[in-house]
């Protein structure tokens, strides 16, 4: 028996026995795995939510579904919201999306991927015409240089990191650009300690040098790229010294970077939350794409801009249509698409969209259904989020485990079947579709079954699915409507043993825009994020540790993982600590304009003026600021001004 990991976007396959083991026959992980991935047998039964709760008391599941249906009937569609998760399977996403957009007719269905990948989604759409990741993990075996900017795969994508180390042995060079000297930085050929928030300055400076030194691919630009003259003209107006100064990188290090870039015949740039989670997240993505488009480093093996997906099925969620900004299967909202989708779902019409995104919807709905995610924990500026939740008439939480922060605000709580007890498909970071296989008796309904029950209770047709396979088959048929997703070619049974990669030839005849050409955009660092000042003199960064998964609803209960990093600490630079009279292990208060928390000091090589708190510290978002990117609506979790008080 085998199944796919329910944690990160690498999407490792496991052999299931007494223990979970990396599946040797599977091309993505070739037998590799990580500590938290294989710990999932140990956590599966710990702290499970197994009862339905109605207003805090154990209740009956059918009663709860009927109560929700009644409230939905009495609420205007635009006041109803669905808050989903990049950890749901495609089948779960599909039924929820169909129910919301096709039948209840609310476009307010968004996902925690908004807090994660939204800036990359918009970046890809603007630059190459579609939310399409044009690089695969195996490309690192065919490149000369991997630039990791704002990503820490040593902790966040462990098996990919192992692949990186292997490729490095075969000659690939690695550059890491991060304000923290991370575990990833330890293997880098070059590490650039960038000032938080200044990535666009750095990337623009690189672009200027490439143009000035004639290292661009003019033929490629002529054939395939729009917007270059404007980009060039604007870039050349910028002051190189100023850009370098703002990036916080030394002249010597920068020149080393340029040398390595020049030496590389092919390069890949990979990024994650250090880029996406920003009030200028889209622009940061575009600045990366610019480099690849002006050098022609895209659409060929071993090159390209590679957004590393965080959650196991954030990609799948984007494909199905779980973002408020798309309708379904990569179709945006327009009349033609709405008619197509309505016809497919056999309804007169679908909802009008786009809908409210994650952070926007919480104070604008009367009914909110939260599934497989914990927004009270994960949204920024938690005091505001708690206030907004407490004003919603009906909050429904669907969770497999007890004790989420959101559960404290839920009027109805429904138990769900977790990893191991459910069946379906998920898409990893490089478009690989894999089967999640149920390998034990289920103790609750799978997420999609709950949405289907709600659909039936509301009297809608089209929710009589008898298995995940049936849902998958309907979904895969729907991808025939898609401009680029060819999942209709996949077979559910076959996926059990053999993954399917969609869109392998999507860029064969050009980019995914109407004129087949990509586009470059001039972007500038407008310093829109919170800046340090005299009072709040540090920038707070937040992120992952290797052995914990977000809020720790599963990993925090695993004994074997306790020997690693603690759930809560704050990293601070040695010099900053000394100036504040703080020592290793001291308890300090971290205070922002929004809230505060106490934790213990860990002295590290983090850039001076920055501190870092892992998100396994569940209270972290009492500190974070409410700024979001104006286009992608992704929060700026990484750049909040704070003070550190002993």
Ligand X SMILES: Nc1nc2c(c(=O)[nH]1)N[C@H]1C(S)=C(S)[C@@H](COP(=O)(O)OP(=O)(O)OC[C@H]3O[C@@H](n4cnc5c(=O)[nH]c(N)nc54)[C@H](O)[C@@H]3O)O[C@H]1N2
- Which parts of this chain interact with Mo ion (CB under 5 A)? 116, 310
For ligand SF4, the nearest residue by Cβ is 37
Judge contact between 549 and 555, C-beta under 8 A.
yes
Report, in Å, the least distance between residue 599 CB and ligand X: 14
Q: What whole-number distance in Å separates Cα of residue 580 and Cα of residue 572?
A: 10
Q: Which is nearer to ligand X, 312 or 355 (CB)?
A: 312
- Contact letters for ligand SF4, residues 413-432 (x by CB under 6 A): --------------------
Q: What whole-number distance in Å separates Cα of residue 143 and Cα of residue 171?
A: 9
- Taking the alpha carbons of 265, 266, 272, 277 in that order, is the dihedral positive or negative? positive
Report, in Å, the least distance between residue 314 CB and ligand SF4: 13
Q: Does residue 573 bind ligand SF4 (CB under 6 A)? A: no
Q: Does residue 12 bind ligand SF4 (CB under 6 A)? A: yes
Report, in Å, the least distance between residue 592 CB and Mo ion: 21
Q: What whole-number distance in Å separates Cα of residue 404 and Cα of residue 244?
A: 44
420 binds, among Mo ion, ligand SF4, ligand X, none (CB under 5 to 8 A by kind): none
Judge contact between 48 and 415, C-beta under 8 A.
yes
Tell me: cis bond preceding 489? Omega within 30 of 0 counts: no
CA angle 38-41-43, nearest 5°?
105
User: Which residue spans within 525-628 are E strands per DSSP?
Assistant: 538-543, 570-573, 587-592, 596-604, 610-614
Q: What whole-number distance in Å separates Cα of residue 52 and Cα of residue 65?
A: 10
Q: Which is nearer to Mo ion, 129 or 153 (CB)?
A: 153
Q: Does residue 307 bind ligand SF4 (CB under 6 A)? A: no
Q: Which is nearer to ligand X, 359 or 465 (CB)?
A: 359
11 binds, among ligand SF4, ligand X, Mo ion, none (CB under 5 to 8 A by kind): ligand SF4
The residue count of the chain comes to 646
**How many CA atoms are closer than 13 Å to the CA of 237, on its beta-carbon side?**
8
Q: Which is nearer to ligand X, 156 or 468 (CB)?
A: 156
Query: By the criterion CB under 6 A, which residues form the site for ligand X?
Result: 8, 36, 85-87, 112, 115-116, 149-153, 155-157, 177-180, 182, 194, 196-197, 199, 272-274, 277, 310-311, 371-374, 377-378, 398-401, 404, 416, 418, 447, 541-544, 546, 548-551, 553, 615, 620-621, 624, 637-638
How many secondary structure helices (H) and strands (E) does the chain include?
23, 26
Q: Does residue 36 bind ligand SF4 (CB under 6 A)? A: yes
Q: Which is nearer to ligand SF4, 90 or 204 (CB)?
A: 90
* Interacting span for ligand SF4 (CB under 6 A) from 4-12, 386-394, 434-442, 585-593: 4-12
Q: What whole-number distance in Å separates Cα of residue 76 and Cα of residue 296?
A: 50
110 binds, among Mo ion, ligand SF4, ligand X, none (CB under 5 to 8 A by kind): none
Three-state DSSP class for residue 424: strand
DSSP labels, 449-461: HHHHHHHHHTT-S
Residues that bind ligand SF4 (CB under 6 A): 5, 7-8, 10-12, 29, 33-34, 36-37, 158-159
């Amino acid at each position: 028996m085998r199944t796919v990991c329910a944690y990160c976007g690498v999407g490792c396959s496991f052999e299931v026995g007494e223990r979970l083991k990396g599946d040797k026959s599977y091309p993505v992980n070739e037998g590799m795995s990580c500590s938290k991935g294989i710990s999932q047998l140990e956590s599966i039964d710990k702290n499970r939510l197994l009862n339905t709760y109605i207003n805090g008391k154990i209740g009956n599941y059918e009663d709860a579904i009927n109560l929700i249906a009644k409230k939905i009937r009495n609420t205007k569609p635009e006041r109803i919201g669905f808050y989903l998760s990049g950890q749901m399977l495609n089948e779960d996403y599909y039924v929820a999306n169909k129910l919301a957009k096709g039948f209840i007719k609310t476009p307010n269905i968004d996902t925690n991927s908004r807090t994660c990948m939204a800036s990359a989604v918009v970046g890809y759409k603007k630059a190459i015409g579609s939310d399409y990741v044009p690089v695969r993990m195996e490309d690192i075996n065919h490149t000369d240089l991997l630039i990791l900017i704002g990503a820490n795969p040593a902790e966040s994508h462990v098996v990919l990191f192992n692949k990186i180390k292997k490729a490095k042995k075969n000659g690939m060079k690695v550059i890491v650009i991060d304000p923290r000297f991370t575990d990833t930085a330890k293997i880098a050929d070059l590490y650039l300690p960038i000032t938080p928030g200044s990535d666009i300055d750095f990337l623009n400076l690189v672009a200027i040098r490439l143009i000035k030194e004639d290292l661009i691919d003019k033929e490629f630009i002529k054939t395939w790229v729009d917007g270059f003259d404007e980009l060039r003209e604007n870039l050349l107006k910028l002051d190189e010294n100023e850009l370098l100064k703002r990036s916080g990188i030394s002249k010597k290090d920068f020149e080393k970077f340029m040398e390595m870039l020049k030496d590389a015949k092919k390069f890949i740039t990979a990024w994650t939350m250090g880029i996406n989670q920003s009030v200028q997240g889209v622009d940061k993505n575009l600045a990366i794409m610019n480099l690849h488009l002006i050098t022609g480093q895209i659409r060929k093996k071993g090159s390209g801009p590679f957004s590393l997906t965080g959650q196991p099925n954030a990609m799948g969620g984007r494909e199905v249509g779980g973002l408020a900004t798309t309708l379904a299967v990569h179709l945006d909202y327009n009349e033609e698409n709405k008619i197509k989708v309505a016809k497919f779902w056999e309804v007169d019409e679908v909802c009008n969209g786009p809908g409210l995104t994650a952070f926007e919807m919480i104070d604008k709905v009367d009914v909110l259904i939260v599934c497989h995610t914990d927004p009270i924990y994960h949204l920024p500026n938690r005091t505001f989020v708690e206030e907004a939740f407490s004003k919603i008439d009906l909050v429904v939480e669907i969770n497999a485990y007890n004790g989420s922060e959101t559960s404290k605000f839920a009027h109805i709580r429904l138990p769900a079947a977790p990893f191991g007890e459910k069946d379906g498909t998920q898409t990893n970071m490089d478009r690989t579709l894999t089967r999640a296989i149920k390998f034990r008796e289920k103790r609750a309904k799978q997420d999609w079954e709950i949405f289907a029950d709600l659909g039936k209770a509301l009297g809608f047709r089209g929710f009589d699915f008898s298995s995940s396979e049936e849902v998958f088959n309907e979904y895969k048929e729907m991808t025939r409507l898609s401009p680029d997703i060819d999942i209709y070619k996949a077979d559910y049974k076959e996926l059990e043993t053999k993954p399917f990669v969609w869109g392998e030839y999507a860029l064969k005849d050009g980019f995914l825009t109407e004129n087949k050409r990509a586009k470059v955009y001039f972007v500038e660092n407008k310093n829109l994020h919170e800046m340090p000042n005299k009072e709040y003199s540090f920038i707070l960064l937040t992120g992952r540790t290797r052995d914990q998964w977000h809020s720790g609803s599963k990993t925090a209960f695993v004994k074997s993982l306790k020997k690693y990093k603690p759930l809560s600490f704050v990293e601070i630079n040695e010099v900053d600590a000394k100036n504040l009279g703080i020592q290793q292990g001291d308890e300090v208060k971290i205070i922002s304009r929004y809230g505060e928390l106490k934790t213990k000091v860990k002295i590290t090589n983090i850039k001076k003026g920055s501190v870092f708190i892992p998100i396994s510290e569940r209270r972290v978002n009492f500190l974070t600021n409410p700024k979001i990117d104006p286009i992608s609506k992704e929060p700026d979790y990484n750049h909040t001004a704070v003070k550190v008080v002993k």
